[in-house]
Amino acid sequence: MSDKFFYYLSVLAKGLPVTLSLSFAGIITACLIAIILSVSLTTTKKWYITKPIKTYVVLFTGTPLLVQLFIIYYGPSQFTFISEHLPTLWNIISQPWFCAYVALTLNSAAYTTQIFAGAIKAVPQGQWQACIALGMNKRQSLKVILPYALKRALSTYSNEIIFVVKGTALTSTITLMDIMGYNQYLYGTYYEFSIFVLTGCIYLLINGLLSIMMRLVEKRALAFENLEH
């Protein structure tokens, strides 16, 4: 029994690098994109900047991640000129890891943009006015206000991080062998329900550790608020 347990664990652990690398790469890129998009969404009123960003957010938050994943992975194969004339591009977009990365990043960036834009909008007007009163221009005041807003968004953002980790499990549907992929392989071979329990425990562990980490980060980031207490 315990032999089996360790065997299952060793097989499932082989999927760990894919799950973790996808999660971290996706989270970091999505965060950077979201910061740029949310800042440009909140600081300008030009329609040719805000409209495309809003459309992007609606498109990616309104459709399932599975559909986005399939469009990016299976979609380009329809256009034969890519494989015929652009072999380097074809090599890149036929990699399942890259497709999963793009889909996860774009999906998460859309949600994160919503979160960050909301946080920037929620900054009290007095802070902007204080920056103007100090003679700062828009860019300088953003440097002060942005960190403040992002710290405020941390608790919502930690949920989004967990969602990205959970989203990586979908990549097993495009032939990527992550934890879920190995879970399917093991279940297909041995037909034992304990495999699902074990997989669930691994995801629980990852998400539990991540949420504890995020709570610590939040505590430190918002330390300036608790100084008086």
Total interface residues for other proteins by CB under 8 A: 40
Tokens representing 158 are 């930690």
Q: Which of 154, 172, 174, 176 binds other proteins (CB under 8 A)?
A: 172
State the DSSP H helix or E strand holding residue 79, giving kind and residue range, or none if neither: none
When the beta carbons of 83 and 207 are compared against other proteins, the nearer one is 207
Whole-number Å distance between alpha carbons of 121 and 136: 19
**What is the nearest approach in angstroms of other proteins to the Cβ of residue 139?**
34
By the rule CB under 8 A, 38 interacts with other proteins: no
Interface pick for other proteins out of 5, 7, 24, 79 (rule CB under 8 A): 79
Q: Which stretch binds other proteins (CB under 8 A): 5-13, 21-29, 45-53, 54-62?
A: 54-62
- The least distance separating other proteins from the CB of residue 137, rounded to whole angstroms, comes to 36
CA distance 82 to 77: 8
Is 96 one of the binding residues for other proteins (CB under 8 A)? Answer: no
Stretch of 20-28, 71-79, 95-103, 219-227 lying at the interface with other proteins (CB under 8 A): 71-79
**Least distance from other proteins to the Cβ atom of residue 138, Å:** 31
Between the two ends of the chain, the Cα-to-Cα distance in Å is: 53
CB burial readout 129-149, b (16+ within 10 A) else e: eebeeeebeeeebbeebbeeb
Residue 76 or 128 with smaller CB distance to other proteins? 76
What's the min distance (Å) between Cβ of 201 and other proteins?
Answer: 10
Footprint (CB under 8 A) of other proteins, residues 127-166: 162, 165-166
| Tokens read off for 100 | 């999963």
As a three-state string, the secondary structure of 51-78 is HHHHHHHHHHHHCCHHHHHHHHHHHHHH
Decide: 111 and 59 in contact? Cβ < 8 Å.
Answer: no
**Which of 23, 38, 42, 68: binder of other proteins (CB under 8 A)?**
68
Tokens found for residue 170: 């979908």
Rounded Cα gap, residues 129 and 99, in angstroms: 44
Which stretches of the chain bind other proteins, using CB under 8 A? Answer: 58-59, 61-68, 70-71, 74-79, 162, 165-170, 172-173, 180, 183-184, 187, 193, 196, 199-200, 203-204, 207-208, 211
